[in-house]
Copies of this chain bind each other. A is one copy, B any other.
Amino acid sequence: MASAMLIRQDDLRLRNRHLVLSAVRVGGATSRTALANRTRLSHSTISAISADLIGDGVLCESPDTMQGRRGRPQIALALQPQAALVVTALLSLNNLSVALVDYAGKVQAQRRCDLPTTSMARSDLLDLVTSEIAELISARPWPAAAVRRIAFAIQGVTDAEARSLLWSPITPHGDVPFADLLEARFGVQTTVENDCNMLVFALQQGDPALYRSNFVALLLSHGIGMGLMLRGEVFHGTRSSAGEFGHVTHQPGGARCRCGRNGCIEAYAGSYALWRRAKGLPPTEMPEKAVSDAQVEDLMVAARERDGPEREAFHEAGTAIGYGLGSLFALIDPAPVALVGIGATAFDLLEEPIREALARTLGGQRSEAFSFRVVERPNMALTLEGGALHALTTLDAEIAGVAASALPARSTAAAAILR
């Protein structure tokens, strides 16, 4: 509960450096006075810290400020774009996207390629990932600026330390230590995380009013992914990325799922499940190749047009999602739901069964109160953006000095005592 951490004298300064840096990242270019108000630190402290940070080449003064007022003009402090670069990458079904982002958060280069993730050999996959990133880095705008972090997002389960892919439906290869590999190849600290866990960062930054500190992001695509923001923190499992909403059981012993088990939510609501149901294929069968977004859109058209198997497919999907959300909300409390991915565009077909199922599981809580919102931006762009954000905020902590000195040794001692 009261998660006090041991702070030594010098750690105090590091913490406040971090506070200032984060304030600039969240609020954009900001004058010292505004920073003092926002951080509640004194003007003198802000002055000292910002001088340090400018000296470190992390912040820079940008004359761009509101003119025309009386008095000494404000000097806005902004993130120095050339302070660092980060790589953000997303490996999803048959697709690899990478982007190079500067310290201020601007995309400097981008690549993407198609690849047969489900069938390619382990070594080919690794080679392609590293070569794509190598190509990307070679396009760096300022040769002097170092690439400081790689944020690698994957559709699949990663370990709690964000170092390996444990299992994924998009590739038969498990326990792939991407972080070790990329760190060895590029000498850059790397985190490997579930795609939906990165996506939530982008949602939060994109609309902080709507997606503040508690919300659910549901990715409806070939599979079903979830990202959970609780109390301002992305929810992680203790051993893995967890949050496997798509593999919560909907029907004990039900339809066959990609994961090899039966009755998972995904086995009713994933693209392939929609296709299977709409085409009247047996629920034990797995489609050989990926169901494309275009194919799902065809199903949507048909479902909207007339009663029939397509409409039933979406209805069953909505029911599965609704019951799943009911179980989730029983465990964590209701929260606004952001729907992302191709399936989100079918929300008109899904809403009724979702709300119906929710009403059956969360009875009293008037189900109209549950807020759903369809996010228009493509999920891949959101995930890449979220990955960059994650890399940059982690980097902020390191640059401020919090991560390097204060946390590792001491926090364990304090945490053990304070639980």
- Identify the A interface with B (CB < 8 A): 1-9, 12, 15-16, 18-19, 22-23, 26-27, 38-41, 45, 160, 167, 204, 213-214, 230-234, 237-240, 242-245, 247-253, 259-262, 319, 323, 326-328, 330-335, 357, 360-361, 363-364, 393-394, 397, 402-403, 409-410, 413-415, 417-419
Contact = CB atoms under 8 A, between A and B. Distances in A.
Contact of A402 (B2, B16, B19, B253): B2
Contact of A1 (B234, B319, B331): B234
Given A7-B12, A261-B363, A327-B327, 20 more contacts: A2-B394, A2-B402, A4-B19, A4-B397, A5-B15, A8-B16, A8-B45, A18-B418, A38-B417, A40-B413, A214-B238, A230-B238, A244-B331, A248-B327, A249-B327, A251-B252, A253-B360, A259-B363, A260-B363, A393-B419
A38 B410 CA distance: 10
Given A6-B19, A41-B6, A249 B323 contact: yes
A214 B238 CA distance: 7
B252 A332 contact: no
Nearest to A398: B2
Contact of A333 (B242, B326, B334, B363): B242
Given A6-B41, A261-B360, A245 B331 contact: yes
A156 B419 CA distance: 26
A410 B40 contact: yes
A363 B256 CA distance: 13
Nearest to A411: B40
Contacts of A333: 160, 237-240, 242
A418 B402 CA distance: 13
Contacts of A326: 249
Contacts of A230: 238
Contacts of A38: 413, 417
Contact of A252 (B231, B233, B323): B323
Nearest to A327: B248
B415 A232 contact: yes
B409 A40 contact: yes
A247 B362 CA distance: 9
A25 to B, nearest CB: 9
Nearest to A390: B1
Contact of A18 (B2, B26, B237, B393): B2
A314 B26 CA distance: 54
B334 A331 contact: no
Contacts of A232: 415, 419
Select the residue from A7, A240, A409 with max chain B CB neighbours within 10 A.
A7
11 contacts: A1-B394, A4-B15, A19-B417, A22-B419, A39-B417, A204-B419, A230-B238, A239-B334, A244-B331, A245-B330, A249-B326
Given A326-B249, A333-B242, A417-B19, A12 B3 contact: no
Nearest to A409: B40
B6 A237 contact: no
B262 A360 contact: yes
Given A244-B330, A331-B248, A419-B232, A16 B6 contact: yes
